[in-house]
Amino acid sequence: MAKMMDIEDNIKDEFIHTKTIFRRHSKGPVMFNGCSPSGDVIIIDNISPKKSYDLTGWYIERQTNSQKFLRYTFTDKFIIPPLATIELWSSIATSMSP
């Protein structure tokens, strides 16, 4: 019985606990509505029932202790239609200096 407890204690010691906090904020009808813990997908909503919005020049940044600083800049004429949801996926990223 003592051996089993030692093995279980060793297994518990190998786990790393992390805490991730996501905040969403919107002053207008375009809002960042969610993000996967790994940062692979970000959800953006336009909650306006009538107006499209041009996100040209907007950017999203990610900086963590364990990963390089990343920035995604929206391309020219990136329009989000009224009442639309966009999922921005990333599988490849290029790092840059903050």
User: What does the pLDDT profile of the chain (98 residues) look like in tens digits?
Assistant: 444 545 555 555 566 656 666 665 567 899 888 877 777 788 999 999 999 999 998 888 877 677 777 788 888 899 999 999 999 887 665 555 65
| 35-60 as b/e: b if 16+ CB within 10 A | beeeeeebebbbebeeeebebeeeeb
Identify the residue whose tokens are 């992390």.
18
- Residue 5 phi/psi, 5-degree rounding, is -65, -40
Task: Please give the span between the terminal C-alpha atoms of the chain, in angstroms, as a whole number.
Answer: 53
CATH homologous superfamily for the domain 18-89: Lamin Tail domain (2.60.40.1260)
Q: Where are the domains of the chain?
A: 18-89
pTM above 0.85, yes or no: no
